[in-house]
Structure 1
Amino acid sequence: MQTPLSAINGIGPQRQALLLKLGVQTVEDLLQLYPHRYEDRSQVLPVEALSRHLGEKVSILATVLSEPAERRIYGGRLLTEVTVGDDSGCLTLTYFNNPYIKAKLRPGKTFNFYGPLDRRLLLHMTAPQAEQMRAGQKPGILPVYPLTGGLSQALLRGWVRQAFELAGRKQVDPLPEGLRQKYALMERGAALQAVHFPKDQQALQQGRRRLIFEELLFFQLGLGLYSRRQKERNAYPVFTIDGAFRHLQPFEPTPSQRKAVKEIQADMRGSYAMNRLLQGDVGSGKTYVAGEAAYSALSSGYQAAIMAPTEILARQHAAYFRPLFEKLGYTTGLLVGSMKPKEKSAVYTALADGGIRLVIGTHALLQKEVRFQNLGLVIADEQHRFGVRQRAALAAKGEKPHILVMSATPIPRTMALMVWGDLDLSVLEGRPAGRKEIRTYLVDSSYRARLSAFMERQMKEGGQIYIVCPLVEENEAVELKSVEALLKELQAQYGDAVDMIHGKMNASLKETAMSRFVAGRVKILISTTVIEVGINVPNATLMILQNAERFGLSQLHQLRGRVGRGEKQSFCVLISDSKNEKTLERLQYFCATTDGFAIAQKDLELRGPGDFFGDLQHGLPQMRIANCATDLELLTVSAQCARRIMQDDPLLEKDANRRMREQVECLFDQNGTAFN
């Protein structure tokens, strides 16, 4: 359905431009602009019962009892007051700077008033919404849509109703009747009506269930079609695996690491090119597994590329891999944005003629000058920092190479399949041998003296310390610790043993500071969240997070993961003077667990799927009504349904599935993903 918005009365070019900001370009889009919440005005209270609901939003059915009175108050603002009531009592309503309300609220007229209730001398409501009631009409459940400047709820509700009459009622249902019956789903037209114009809560929930199921099913069918397209003939088969890389390690791999390596090597030996996600919590040992994958490619005569999200991490990977692979007879190279043109040119030449077998870099690897002799493996580290298209752009440097993406964002397997559905999944569980659980504490500023003594003890015992601040510079508008202010404070006490690193510094200064910290010459590194991803300093034993309330749970978990990477006991201290109960509850929850999956689930619940999955799903269709945090049951059921359909009809070619295929193609084509 591609009916233009001009078919809706009241939508001209200017309003079409406003709707475009909400992602609405057609009548179909308007029907899929789902309410993000509802106002249940059907639960009408008599005035005599209102005193038990102070501070809540309430719905009343009341008649205007007096002529609205207008007067000017401080600042020239217009104040309008009016008395309304029902058979059980009366209350006062107040409106500010609303010159139209007096003409609307005429004495004797009956309205449904909805808004927050308070008490002054009498019961009172400030600027409640007012909907005039016809004889016998009852208040209902009103949808509340996302807005942009220049649009109102009343306009959107009217336009959606027109869209439904134009296109919603007569929609052909894309889900086969047998599937609807099996999963007890409403027809699509009825579901749209129930979601946009619910007659009661039961109808609303049934309508939402149908549309959520459909969205999740189409998403997973699309990923199934996409992954079939991605299954290319294996152009870079791996041969014998001799274990030489493992023998260079000073540790024994964990069972989880061994299993992941086996899965990767099986893929690389198989009939199709590998497309695999390696998911593991912070500190679970993903880098070692990546090294094994790279060695498998190199020892079979191919080149490999590792793309990291930051220059610091790329250089760290290079420092780890270079000596290991040189012992095995393979040349490694580094390619990052801050390198001089002459240095980059030398790398370009060595990659093209095969002189460099393993290259580690940042987005610089995507430059058009980068050409490989025979790129057999692409590894994208910290996948959530790259979009699907960036990953594909690097893979395009070769002829369908193997792809391994790594993520330290621990999310449940079912959700991972939603986010990275085009990839097979390996999960690293537990920590490498010898690593202890990090002890985490929440304190306020009154503990600073005790914390200073604890820092000195850690340094005397040979440990190093990270201190993370939310700001680079002091800001008078907010009382937050900054990197620069703390640097001055601690350098006065510890001199050159303190350094700083933040995103505004140029690459060479960041590299110098990080190198000094890694080498142990710097004992205290003050930083912003630039160190969040992947930095590995086994000697670091204490992480201090200033103004911890400013960070999300998953971000706190990533930062905590910078310590505890050696055999010494490590600590994480959160400093917060927040008095907000929910904030303190969130931070205390973080202190009580080091389980990344539990923390990610909690973060998902608190932040909502939009924020949590925003970066992860870059390049894939966005959810319009489904919520991966709250719709887990439907996510699981729809995943099972999608698998059954794909097993029976892998390309959705049967007549019963044809309309689903059309809908899926439309959904993914909007995001630049084709299935042919």
Structure 2
Amino acid sequence: MRPEILFPLFAEVSTLKGVGQKVLPLVQKVAGPLVRDLVFLSPTGLILRRPMTAADAVEDQVGVFTVVVDRMIAPGKPGVPLKVRASDDTGFVHLVWFGGSPQQIDRLLPRNETRLVSGKVERFNGEVQIVHPDVFRLDGDDQPAPAEPVYPATQGLTSRQVRKLVRQALTTAADLPEWQDPAWLARNRWTGWRQAIEALHAPTSLPELEPDAPARQRLAYDELLAHQLALARRRAARQAHPAPVIAPGPASDALQTALPFRLTGAQARAVAEIRADLGSGTRMARLLQGDVGSGKTAVAALVMADAAASGFQSALMAPTEILARQHHERLQPLLDAAGLTALLLTGRDTVGQRRAALSALADGSAHVAIGTHALFQDAVAFHRLGLVVVDEQHRFGVEQRARLQAKGEGVHMLTMSATPIPRTLELTQFGDLEVSRLDEKPPGRTPVTTAVLPVERLDEVAARLGRAVAEGAQAYWICPLVAESETGDLAAAEARAADLSKRLGLEVGLAHGQMAGAEREDVMRRFAAGSLPVLVATTVVEVGVDVPNASIMVIERADRFGLAQLHQLRGRVGRGAKASSCILLYGSGEQGLGETARERLEILRNTEDGFEIAEADFRLRGGGDPIGLRQSGFPAYRFADPIRHRDLLRAAADDARLILNRDPKLDSPRGRAVQVLEALFDWRDGRTSD
């Protein structure tokens, strides 16, 4: 239950004065539905006001002037601004409005009256001018503050109105019990929570808006600690759930013997870590993180053989039918050699195929099921499901993975991702999981030569592509991102496919996100079979098909892509014996290639190590709102920036484990304060602070 001390913060924003039916949806849009959401709404800017006179006014700064109103110059025709001339002892200050009635302005600035006016100073014909100034009475309650925080606004709700609501919301915030360790507070020289939240909303200088400002650091750490506590609790709850004990057996040995290669050190280490989990008697939830081509499938095959050796079934779920079929084709010979039966289940199976597959899963004659979303449908029943493997886990929702896992008792789960992320960010996205890393490539992988060229050399690239295709090569051509419009992306892809078909004098495949799934998979299947020499695609399409003969990757306007995305695309070549190349075409234009874009492309040219690339990407993102992270499934933090606050994140993860190890029921004085923290941020039930 929510602690009573938080009740005022969790009241609806409609309980605040001035939030009626008209304003309510605007406040909810800007901040959220709760009073707490206004308290958590950080200022995005700061207006700094300086007392000035007409003589010492500084252009482009915000000044406060004490002036006497002289006269109004009403517009003589539409479109001409309304002007008021005012003055102080040193000269004139002209006040300008584009719109507004003379009567309204006259009431605001009566002639021969003294007023305070504030706004950004401009110079027009040598005279001081302020457009749409703020006006204050000398004896009024509302005076121009030396520093005024700027808040997000929307049509019908100004920043100043939001500020007033924030100040009102702050009065409901109690002095909360201290949940942070006193020594940690002292070391960082942080104030208590109430003082920090007040300081957040009362900045006096621009550095106080930065993530590294003490008040913001304190609040960010609170949020990170609440999230890490939730993840630690989730992990503890999972580990308390009994699960089948799975151990290697003859089937595992037979499958390992059937592998056409020796495991790398990283693969052997990952297998050992997974087997330790499977043999623990508690439910496994482990992420197998490995670069493209690092051998995740072989690791999965071995542990699925372990499950079969212990009398359990496994399910491997892939996001698309073509990837599911690819897994089935790869795994079938290995599983056959181990005496195990695998079947494929997709949404396009015939009635007879589906009936036979469902029967084999229900009676236990099938040891491994490989498929798409079809695996977690209600009609699918397993005889004794013990292990679920999810490929490209980010393509499935939590609920989808849980539905498959629920088809057995205490089912272990192994998720796989080909998108390496920095270790620090693992704590935010996968903090409730154990993580295994495949940081070595199996022998035999062909290095990919990466070239960075200006888009002006596209004709030369296309000519070289034509010669390579004539010699039997296959190539991907990835089209550029056009603004943020899938329609624009599609038009660019269609135009490029037509252009290449004309240049090369042969059929060029086209795959994009607006095609029907069956049609798109048919094109990709033809490319995989070698009947299409070139595949033009947009980035919204899954191009993760294993085509060993594909040895050329051209990425048009590579400077518009993210570093991790470029690395993933490049990983589609170099999967066979042929020497492979990736050509990154960048747009030069009038201003040339930006420094960050240039560094990104240089990193791609110099390394194929996905983890090194992920760390570089992490470094290049710098500070600010990590929107890219949020779009990739990272938590939507209010105060924390996982990049700028990475040291705090690591400390919060350690602190969360320490708190729960020492006081698992949180019934000590600090434990009770920690419960207030958890309730304040609402991470415990899986919701984010949004």
TM-score category by the smaller chain?
A: 0.7 to 0.9
1:597 counterpart residue number: 614
Deviation at 1:662, TM superposition (A): 4.1
Contact 1:410 1:600 in 2 (8 A): no
Contact 1:533–1:558 under 8 Å retained in 2: no
What is the CA deviation profile of residues 78-123 of structure 1, one whole-angstrom value per residue up to 9, with x for unaligned ones? 6244567888887766543355667546674233324xx7766447
Of 386, 401, 409, the match for 1:376: 386
Say which of 620, 628, 648 aligns to 1:611.
628
Aligned residue number for residue 156 of structure 2: 150
Partner residue of 1:41 out of 48, 62, 72? 48
Is the CA contact (8 Å cut-off) linking 1:194 and 1:207 kept in structure 2? yes
Instruction: Report the Cα offset of residue 575 of structure 1.
Output: 3.0
Structure-2 change in CA distance of 1:368 and 1:657 (3 Å): same
Shift of 1:593: 1.5
How far has the Cα of 1:196 moved from its partner?
1.3
CA contact (8 A) 1:82 1:93 kept: yes
1:413 aligned residue (408, 423, 427) = 423
Task: Tell me whether 1:97 sits opposite 2:99 in the alignment.
Answer: yes
Please state how far the C-alpha of 1:325 moved relative to its aligned partner: 1.7
Distance 1:15 1:401 in 2: 49
CA positional deviation for 1:546: 2.6
CA distance in 2, matches of 1:50, 1:579: 40
Pair 1:568-2:578 in alignment: yes
Q: Percent identity?
A: 35
In structure 2, how many angstroms separate the alpha carbons of the residues matched to 1:530 and 1:280?
22
The residue that corresponds to 1:649 in the other structure is 663
Summarize the alignment of residues 297-336 of structure 1 with structure 2, pairs less than 5 Å apart: 297-336=307-346
Q: CA deviation at 1:672?
A: 4.6
- 1:660 matched to which residue of 2? 674
- The gaps in structure 2 that reach 5 residues or longer are 1-5, 605-611
Q: CA deviation at 1:213?
A: 0.9
What's the offset of the Cα at 1:419? 1.0
- State the secondary structure of the residue aligned to 1:521: coil
Superposed, 1:416-495 pairs within 5 Å as: 416-470=426-480, 482-494=492-504
Amino acid at match of 2:15: A
Counterpart position of 2:191: 186
Aligned residue in 1 for 2:535: 525
The Cα offsets for residues 313-372 of structure 1, whole Å up to 9 and x where unpaired, read as 222222222232233222222233344455434333322222332222222222222221
State the shift of 1:144 in Å. 3.0
Question: C-alpha distance in 2, partners of 1:435/1:17?
Answer: 56
The separation in 1 between residues aligned to 2:56 and 2:249, in whole angstroms, is 79
Instruction: Decide whether aligned partners of structure 1 residues 279 and 77 sit closer, same or farther in structure 2, where only a CA change above 3 A counts.
Output: farther
- SS of corresponding position for 1:158: helix
8 Å CA contact 2:307–2:314 kept in 1: the answer is yes
* 1:113 counterpart = 2:130: no
C-alpha contact (below 8 Å) 1:141/1:198 kept by paired residues: yes
* Letter of the 1:180 counterpart: L
Contact 2:223 2:681 in 1 (8 A): no
Residues 243-262 of structure 1: matches in 2 within 5 Å?
243-262=253-272
Separation of aligned partners in 2, 1:609 and 1:520: 41
Summarize the alignment of residues 4-153 of structure 1 with structure 2, pairs less than 5 Å apart. 4=11, 5-22=13-30, 24-35=32-43, 37-41=44-48, 58-63=61-66, 67=71, 69-71=73-75, 76-77=78-79, 79-81=81-83, 94-99=96-101, 104=108, 108-114=114-120, 121-122=125-126, 127=131, 130=134, 132=136, 139-153=145-159
CA shift in 2, pair 1:237/1:253, >3 Å: closer
**1:237 partner amino acid:** I
Displacement, 1:427? 1.3
Q: 1:384 to 1:97 in 2, by over 3 A?
A: farther
Counterpart Cα distance in 1 of 2:289 and 2:337: 28
Give the gaps of 5 or more residues in structure 1: none
Q: Deviations over 1:27-62 (max 9, x none)?
A: 223212233x221415778877887x7xxx632233
In structure 2, distance between residues paired with 1:49 and 1:343: 86
CA contact (8 A) 2:678 2:684 kept: no
> Is 1:638 the counterpart of 2:652 in the alignment?
yes
Structure 2 letter corresponding to 1:27: V
Per-residue CA deviations over 1:519-570 (Å, capped at 9, x if unaligned) read: 2222111112245563322222221123434433332222222122234332
Q: Is the 8 A contact 1:436 1:567 kept in 2?
A: yes
Change (3 A) 1:666 1:580: farther
**In 2, Cα distance between the equivalents of 1:639 and 1:616?**
19
Does structure 1 retain, via aligned residues, the 8 Å contact 2:388–2:404? Answer: yes
Write the distance in 2 (CA, Å) between the matches of 1:88 and 1:390. 72
Q: Matched residue pairs, number?
A: 659
- Give the counterpart of 1:265 among 262, 265, 275: 275
Asked whether the equivalents of residues 553 and 581 of structure 2 are also in contact (C-alpha less than 8 Å), the reply is yes
Q: 1:234-274 deviations in whole A, cap 9, x for unaligned?
A: 31422437443333333333221221111111211223221
CA distance in 2, matches of 1:221, 1:522: 52
User: How far 1:483 moved relative to its partner?
Assistant: 2.5
- Any conservation in 2 of the 1:554–1:603 contact (CA below 8 Å)? no
Q: Structure 1's 225 and 539: CA in aligned 2 closer, same or farther, altered over 3 A?
A: same
Q: 1:419 to 1:98 in 2, by over 3 A?
A: farther
The alignment partner of 1:466 has SS state of strand
Alpha carbons 2:46, 2:203 under 8 Å: kept? no
Q: Distance in 2 between matches of 1:143 and 1:248?
A: 67
Query: What RMSD over aligned residues (CA atoms) do the two structures have, in Å?
Result: 3.5
Q: Does the CA-based 8 Å contact 2:136-2:143 persist in structure 1?
A: no
CA contact (8 A) 2:455 2:557 kept: no
Structure 1: distance between partners of 2:90 and 2:421: 53
Residues 395-439 of structure 1: CA distance to partner in whole angstroms, max 9, x if unpaired? 112112111111223222121022111101111214332335433
Match of residue 247 from structure 2: 238
1:436–1:672 CA distance, 2 compared to 1 (3 A): same
Measure the CA separation in 1 of the matches of 2:82 and 2:323: 61
In structure 1, the residue corresponding to 2:468 is in which secondary structure?
A: helix
- Output one character per residue of 1:301-321: Cα deviation in whole Å (capped at 9) or x when no partner: 211112222333222222222
TM-score using structure 2 length:
0.85
